[in-house]
Chains A and B, each alone.
Chain A
Amino acid sequence: AQSVTQLGSHVSVSEGALVLLRCNYSSSVPPYLFWYVQYPNQGLQLLLKYTTGATLVKGINGFEAEFKKSETSFHLTKPSAHMSDAAEYFCAANNDMRFGAGTRLTVKP
């Protein structure tokens, strides 16, 4: 079965700095990959997804992720963090939606 590993349970950045949240998957077959965001006291909402085709995927709120088969990675980035990006982020793989443990992003003023 697929497994997903998110490196770093907590990431803190300054407002305006680069956001990098790491996700690695384990599979010999490239999976479908997703990033979800969870704001406080809310459910998860889909940020972006990779199925096939272009390996650089753009999502909502200025986020993007790049699928790298050679590194089995799907890291999430945003060039400039905003205070409103503070949330928990989850990486997920494939149709059975195995989720990573989550990364809490804090944005400092």
Chain B
Amino acid sequence: EAQVTQNPRYLITVTGKKLTVTCSQNMNHEYMSWYRQDPGLGLRQIYYSMNVEVTDKGDVPEGYKVSRKEKRNFPLILESPSPNQTSLYFCASSSRPAEVYGYTFGSGTRLTVV
């Protein structure tokens, strides 16, 4: 089944403790992206990647890192999480051009930072 898989689905952590949210897609998509979803703000893009070893900042990149060493994987790293990073996170992928194909989304990771 074609899908984007995120892990974990739920995560509670403490301020400052490094964490990684994994994202993997099995559709051979070039384009991958991370979003956060907050009430009243919709989805905001954190980082995106147009291919292996090519990443770029989205609208809200502060406090996050990403890497794209393999085509299928695009992990999101929070080096020192803070409470304002409590949010619902989505990974998405697309064939290029994304504007024609649209995105396939993962099921989301609900992160709470205390």
**A63 in contact (CB, < 8 A):** no
Which of B33, B90, B103 has the most C-beta atoms of chain A within 10 angstroms of its own C-beta?
B103
* Interfacial chain A residues near B100, Cβ < 8 Å: 32, 51
A94 x B99 contact (CB < 8 A): yes
Instruction: List the one stretch of B14-22, B37-45, B64-72, B76-84 in contact with chain A.
Output: B37-45
Q: How large is the interface on A (under 10, 10 to 19, 20 to 34, 35 or more residues)?
A: 20 to 34
* Interfacial chain A residues near B90, Cβ < 8 Å: 43-44
**A74 in contact (CB, < 8 A):** no
**A82 in contact (CB, < 8 A):** no
| Chain A residue with Cβ nearest B102 | A46
| Chain A residue with Cβ nearest B107 | A43
Chain B residues in the interface with A (C-beta under 8 A): 4, 33, 35, 40-45, 90, 92, 97-100, 102-108
Pick the contact of B106: A34, A43, A99, A102 (CB < 8 A): A43
**A25 in contact (CB, < 8 A):** no
B107 x A42 contact (CB < 8 A): yes
CB distance from A75 to the nearest CB of B (A): 17
Cα–Cα distance between A31 and B33 once the two chains are bound (Å): 20
**A90 in contact (CB, < 8 A):** yes
Cα–Cα distance between A44 and B6 once the two chains are bound (Å): 13
* Interfacial chain A residues near B4, Cβ < 8 Å: 43
* Interfacial chain A residues near B41, Cβ < 8 Å: 101
Q: Mark A39-74, 1 if CB is under 8 A from B, else 0.
A: 001111110010100000000000000000000000
Cα–Cα distance between A49 and B105 once the two chains are bound (Å): 15
Cα–Cα distance between A32 and B103 once the two chains are bound (Å): 13
B42 x A97 contact (CB < 8 A): no
Cα–Cα distance between A90 and B92 once the two chains are bound (Å): 15
* Interfacial chain A residues near B92, Cβ < 8 Å: 44, 97
Cα–Cα distance between A97 and B35 once the two chains are bound (Å): 10
Cα–Cα distance between A30 and B4 once the two chains are bound (Å): 30
Cα–Cα distance between A43 and B107 once the two chains are bound (Å): 4
10 sampled A-B residue pairs with Cβ under 8 A = A6-B42, A31-B99, A43-B4, A44-B103, A45-B105, A46-B104, A90-B43, A95-B97, A97-B45, A101-B40
